[in-house]
Structure 1
Amino acid sequence: MASEIAKGCNYLESIGRTHRDLSARNIIFVAKNLVVKISDGGAYRDKYRADYYNGMPIRWMSPESIIDGRFSAKSDVYSFSTTFWEILTYCKSRPHYQLSDQSLLTLIVNTSNGADDVPPLVLGRPLHCPKEIYDLMVECWQTNENQRPPFHEIGLFLQRKNLGYQKPGPDH
């Protein structure tokens, strides 16, 4: 699933678009043929109202998007990693669930002073998540957006991890 999401985000990047609200609630998964589609309807459903703080999905947003209002493919990379974390935890809890929205915002502002050596604010490693996958996620959560990998590299990494995997045919 994450590989398909990365491909979709790579496409958005190639046409100069950013998503700005990448999250599991905005992923459509068609189980019959394992097709993954990126959508943008989560904000309009009452079910997800608590995921937004003043209209912003702060738990998925990069520091530069929260602090400066800057969105780019690199801010989508940050959100992609949080979405990947959601998938690996079976969407059982919200990112940074132990923090209130205000506490999370304060932490982001206090740890994002622009220095390259600021450790990223990361989510815990999901159970059964291989170390190399979690390392990719941490790389995507870097505070400095220039230290995050581009989607084409994420896609290639995940494709290598999926070598040998075959999607079921239309009969399944």
Structure 2
Amino acid sequence: MSARLRRVLVVPVALLGFAAAGCGNSIEGAAVAQPGSSDVGSVSSGTSPSGASADCVALTKALGRLVSDRPHLTEAVLPGSTDPTCSWSKGPTNVMSTITASVRPQVTDPAVIVEMRNGTNVVADPRSAEFGGVVLDVVAMALLTPEHSIIVNALDPSVSDATKLDVAFAIAEYLEN
């Protein structure tokens, strides 16, 4: 993996001080973007190439049941970025209950993604083929597709890697629709 790509994937996560994710294992699941039930205030951001909004309110609705037990939404934009990082927690002072997702539009050559599948940080998840992507366990769970970098982590130790991946794939599905 190139140093530039490693920086693109790791730096935003490291800046937020995320806890390290588990080791790369094969994980299967079926994340489906759903209409959400959260009632959070409107926050605006850019749109994906397909026209789907990548703002935190829209992602909350798309994630539905995956974040429904964490109704407190926080949006942050890191210095030098215009893309929001969304955090869902059980309350404004309950930091350890947080699930965080960062979505960045990022064009990656499909040949590079194919090569990355041979790396040591790869998580074998059959859903990645549906998006032409690769899943990497790099401090957090990162789904890299030809159009986006989606990084998901949780400070809550009860949130499994499978759940983090369900969130990442639900976001990818939402962005494609």
TM-score w.r.t. length of structure 2 = 0.32
Greater percentage in strand: 2
TM-score w.r.t. length of structure 1 = 0.33
Greater percentage in helix: 1
